Amino acid sequence: MAKLNQIIAVEKGVKSKAQQELTAAHHDLQKPALLSGIARTYQPKDEEGEQLPPESTRVQLQAEQVLKSTAAVLTRLFDVTATKDWANCEARAHVTVDGRELVRDVPVSYLLFLEKQLTDLHTFIRKLPVLDAAEAWNLDASTDAWKTEPVRTNRTRKVPRNHVKAEATEKHPAQVEVYYEDVAVGYWTTVKFSGALPARRVNELLERVEKLQQAVKFAREEANGAEVTDQRVGDAVFGYLFGS
């Protein structure tokens, strides 16, 4: 008795072969020359006339035979696919992480769905915003956000100052150069807030989703190892379609 994973392994090849042969049969049947034959002989009007050899062309393709061979190829495809689909309805496995059964008796089709969703979730989690590692963050219960300790900085203003380069004399005024000096006029107290996540939290989430991904793959392999019952659908279908 075959196993489901063996049926899945051969299904692609069977499908490819069936498609190729069906396409080839379709093209051949569109060529009238292959389906046509002729036989003719020549008789002169009198004994002295020219004698010509008989001519003949054999029929190279019988449409009824093409139907039989097509049915045979497609019957194999129909049977393999039916065997897989029937087995998929029955093949089940548990999803287990760290010895804990998260979901029991999961069918193969749902395990495939889970694999796709978990791949998308892994991408989503990997892109989560992370707190700036250059800051020290603490969770603030009042805002349900992360915040830093207050940091005080000066607020300055530029104040003009005079620098006397040369004192005034009776003949010349004083030479004065104006420059600006930063003078503290107040203080800013800054607290930063963030809705991002600590890197530790993101790493934990990634580890969980990766463990679950592995568990789902193991479950799918286990389910696909179930023994299958060969289904015989093709004979019934093509016996009706191409029967005499």
Q: In the chain, where are the structural domains located?
A: 4-131+199-241, 150-190
pLDDT at 175: 84
Calculate mean pLDDT across residues 82-109: 93
> pLDDT by residue (tens digit) across 123-162?
999 999 999 999 999 999 999 999 999 999 999 999 888 8
Tens-place pLDDT, residues 182-204: 988 899 999 999 999 999 999 99
* Residue located via tokens 């139907």: 67
What pTM was computed for the model? 0.68
pLDDT in tens, 219-235: 999 999 988 989 999 99
Question: 46 pLDDT exceeds 90?
Answer: no
164: left (phi over 0), alpha (psi -120 to 50) or beta: beta
Contact 101, 168 (CB under 8 A): no
